[in-house]
Amino acid sequence: MLHVLRLSIGCELILCDGQNTDFCARLETITAKPESVTFTIMSQSPSNTESLIQVTLFQGLPKGDKLDWIIEKCIEAGIYRIIPVCTARTVVKVKDPVKKAERFTRISESAAGQCMRGIIPYISPPINFSDALLEHDSNSLCLLAYEKERIRTVKCVLNNIHPRPISLWVGPEGGFDDSEVKALEDIGAVPISLGPRILRTETAGLVALAQILCIWEN
């Protein structure tokens, strides 16, 4: 506020509590040592950047730093929560899930601030596939981005359904194996096509999210 934005007394700006509430505030005082600022809250209102459609992305853990990109871009697009999943075809080995989660949180905070989100989306530590199944909300609509599905699109599934939370499953490089697809179908997952082209794992979740929000946010 003081060294980058160089705010001065009397400046008005929007503060957010990270819980979907924005505050219109005026800077009243600046203290040098220790550095601090105080504001007068003039009004508050719900953040207008949050979608009413809560989409949780269950993302198969990809190689390299692809997950960093997925987190950043999906938060910009409006994702509600991301759960990285270690699957049968996951290549990368997670040595320290807690340290990974701390890194993911920093990325989430930065991305949420950049695009003025009303919340900081939760990014869980990587978990295995069986635990991810337990995280699935049975009241949500479960969608499986599946490269072998050729007919059923996101639009076909959503057009005649009243909006509700969505669990979106995207596999790692190589996709989900047959036993994982069967397990997802057993909990009610609907396989969907994202179009005629096969997408990379880091692209599929973002494309599916964009289609979902485009259809249901009208």
How far is Cα 2 from Cα 33, in angstroms, rounded to an integer?
Answer: 13
> Residue 127: which H helix or E strand, with range?
strand 127-128
Residue 4, in any domain of the structure: no
pLDDT of the residue at 32: 83
Number of domains in the chain: 2
Q: In what order do the strands lie in the sheet with 21-31?
A: 12-16, 21-31, 36-46
Residue 132, in any domain of the structure: yes
52-74 pLDDT, tens per residue? Answer: 999 999 999 999 899 999 999 99
State what percent of residues in the chain have pLDDT above 90: 80
Same domain as 92, residue 179: yes
Residue 199, in any domain of the structure: yes
Residue 201, in any domain of the structure: yes
Q: Cβ distance 111 to 93 under 8 Å? A: no
168-196 pLDDT, tens per residue? Answer: 999 999 999 999 999 999 999 999 999 99
pLDDT of the residue at 217: 86
Residue 80, in any domain of the structure: yes
Mean pLDDT of the chain: 93
Distance from the Cα of residue 50 to its chain's centroid:
12
Same domain as 80, residue 27: no
Range of the domain at 192: 55-216
Q: Report CA-CA distances (Å) from 218 to 53, 81, 84, 152, 209.
A: 11, 21, 29, 20, 14
- In sequence order, the 6+-apart residues with CB closer than 8 A to the CB of 47 are 16, 20, 21, 22, 116, 117, 118, 119
Same domain as 162, residue 68: yes
Q: Is pLDDT of 218 > 80? A: no
Residue 2, in any domain of the structure: no
Q: Is pLDDT of 100 > 90? A: no
Same domain as 202, residue 167: yes
24-54 pLDDT, tens per residue? Answer: 999 999 998 888 999 999 999 999 899 999 9
